[in-house]
Chains A and B, each alone.
Chain A
Amino acid sequence: MSPIQRLVDAFHRLPGIGPKSAQRLAYHVLRAPVEEARDLAEALLHVKESIVLCARCQNVTDRSPCRICADTSRERTVICVVEEPLDVVAIDRTGGYRGLYHVLHGVVSPSDGIGPEDLKIEELLRRLRDVDTEVTEIIVATNPNLQGEATSMYLARLLRPLGLKVTRLARGLPAGADLEYADDVTLGRAMEYRQEV
């Protein structure tokens, strides 16, 4: 296999990169100065070598415990459980949540061969059984689809016996949405989960 083809294939394996984009990226690297290529290669290796999972929240980090877990100004009574590391970034960006996180690294989906034992659930239970735990509430922030709901129900049944309050993110209309263009399911949910003003 030619070196160019090897690079094209490597890009093609990345999520969201089709064959045409892979070609474009490969030829961009080919034309770029050698420093840029070296920088990219080093960045790729460095991220794999230096990034670990936080021993507490299982988020990706360059040091364990991660910055969020180590931050003493954060509330220690509530843990927000998310599917992926990017969800932590999304929720933290809102600035409205100042508690801790736990990253599951996936959702229950039997047809993809993923059961509860493949997720970081045991790690969550270990955190909650810790004698020093101050946690009283778990917010389940999995996606509002079938697999997300299955995961959330499984967690709720596991966590309620521990005497914890288990909550779920609200479902309904996105901010700035136009009622006229909302689909039936979303609108129906928004009606079902309406709030008093």
Chain B
Amino acid sequence: MHIAHLTLTNVRSFRRLDLALEPGRHVIAGDNAQGKSNLLEAVQMLATARTLRGGTDLDVISWPAVEEDPLPVARLEAAVQTAQGKRTLEIAVIAQETPPGMRPTRASRRFRVNGVARRASDLIGQLRVVMFSADDLEIIAGAPAVRRRYLDITLSQFDGAYLRALQRYGRVLEQRNSLLRKLQERRGRPDELDFWDDELASTGALIAQRRADAIRALARDAAERYAELAPSEAEDLAICYVPRLPPAVAEAIREHDLADRLRATLVEERREDILRGVTRWGPHRDDVQFLIGGRHAGNSASRGQQRTAALALRLAEVELSTRRSGDAPVLLLDDILSELDPARRERILQVAYGVDQVLITTPDEDRPSREEMPDAVRYRLAEGILTRQ
């Protein structure tokens, strides 16, 4: 798939960006703080419907618009060409209405697919991207929540059932935890938990099984990519799923009756859950282990090894996304080439020639150089204005 047209209005540093894109490789050069990352993050937002980098919805809207416009709105639009045809995606981030003179403090998002108002879940996956950035190190070295977020964003793009289960699971979990706290105060009756346990078990089982499948595929491919990227290294990369389930249930993760087993766990553990006022078992507490040479990559691998592992994971993700949906995702390389040695850069550029479209940002016009990427369309980004070279 590829993005045929991208329009950003009042998005972060862009007052207006109107860009017709062809398949192929696009290199966007610019000094720091000119909005290179904003551009790729806007594309990622069109794919995932998520506000990025821990910012709020309001942060998506450019500051001049928030300060000056009577009704500040950021608009992100893309026309996407896939094997199945063309589709248009649109996200509008609308600042909350405030009395004159008051600055808005919140914003909300509206989604459209092919011009029709839709929910976020209908937009997600219409455009698939894999973004490589320096932040990827956090997947290896950061907290478990970062890894769950990584899995959710990755899987949601090509697995609609996973996305729906995930959204429902989140709502059910919130309700169940509220009920647990109420029961903790000896109000209500424990059998009020029945419905929430059923729902948590059926959605939770689906989430755990899809995660297990995806991680198995990612682990196999990432191990191979790691060995290729670091040929001189004796240690290997292993990735394992650590589901938050009792061992006997975790062993049965591939069984069709996982939901029944998870439900039984939730019922058995009710007393303890009520005591603590929180649901202790289920995929909301999952983790993924990255092991290099059999040791935890997060705390015992070198920075270089962690970086290679993150790169290998992203490369495996490209393969998984391609295999699961029939065509390759759009690659977004956010300033990662300049810090790689020539052999690794070579490997990434190889992958960049295996997909339909790649958007690359770089502070250094010569990374990738014209020799490395002779056919690339080159742009210069300065003060929010993109100029084709």
Residues on A close to B: CB < 8 A?
18-20, 108-111, 113, 115-117, 146-147, 149-150, 153-154, 157, 181, 183-185
Contacts and interface: CB of A to CB of B under 8 A. Distances in A.
Contact of A150 (B98, B175, B187): B175
Interface string B164-203: 1000100110111111001000011001101110010000
B119 interface: yes
A49 B115 CA distance: 48
A3 B24 CA distance: 65
Contacts of A147: 175
Interface residues of B, number: 27
B228 to A, nearest CB: 38
Contacts of B182: 110, 113, 115
Interface in B75-121: 97-99, 116, 118-119
Given A109-B175, A111-B178, A181-B116, 16 more contacts: A20-B97, A108-B192, A110-B176, A110-B179, A113-B182, A115-B179, A115-B187, A115-B192, A116-B192, A146-B168, A146-B199, A147-B175, A153-B195, A154-B195, A157-B194, A183-B119
5 contacts: A146-B175, A150-B195, A153-B194, A183-B118, A183-B119
A18 B192 contact: no
Contacts of A116: 188, 192
Nearest to B98: A19
Contact of A111 (B122, B168, B174, B199): B174
B192 A146 contact: no
Contacts of A113: 178, 182
Interface of B: 97-99, 116, 118-119, 122, 160, 164, 168, 171-172, 174-179, 182, 187-188, 191-192, 194-196, 199
B195 to A, nearest CB: 5
Given A19-B97, A111-B175, A184 B160 contact: yes
Given A110-B178, A113-B178, A185-B164, A146 B171 contact: yes
List the 8 closest pairs (A to B, CB-CB), nearest first: A110-B179, A110-B178, A111-B178, A150-B195, A153-B195, A115-B188, A110-B175, A19-B99
A154 B199 contact: no
A137 to B, nearest CB: 22
A146 B199 CA distance: 9
Nearest to B179: A110
Contact of A18 (B97, B118, B176): B97
Contacts of A154: 192, 195
| A contact face: mostly helix, strand, loop, or mixed | helix
Contacts of B116: 181
B178 A149 contact: no
A109 B177 CA distance: 11
Nearest to B188: A115
Contacts of A153: 194-195
A65 to B, nearest CB: 31
A184 B174 contact: no
A150 B97 contact: no
A170 B16 CA distance: 47
B115 to A, nearest CB: 11
Nearest to B173: A111
Q: Looking at A18, A111, A113, which has the most chain B CB atoms within 10 Å of its CB?
A: A111
Nearest to A117: B188
Nearest to B172: A146
Contacts of B178: 110-111, 113
B97 A184 contact: no
Nearest to B180: A110
Contacts of A157: 191, 194
A153 B99 CA distance: 44
Nearest to B196: A150
A68 B188 CA distance: 33
Contacts of B191: 157
Nearest to B119: A183
A32 B178 CA distance: 48
Given A113-B178, A150-B175, A150-B196, A183 B188 contact: no
Q: Looking at A18, A19, A113, A150, which has the most chain B CB atoms within 10 Å of its CB?
A: A150
Contacts of A185: 164
Nearest to A183: B122
A149 B203 CA distance: 15
A105 to B, nearest CB: 18
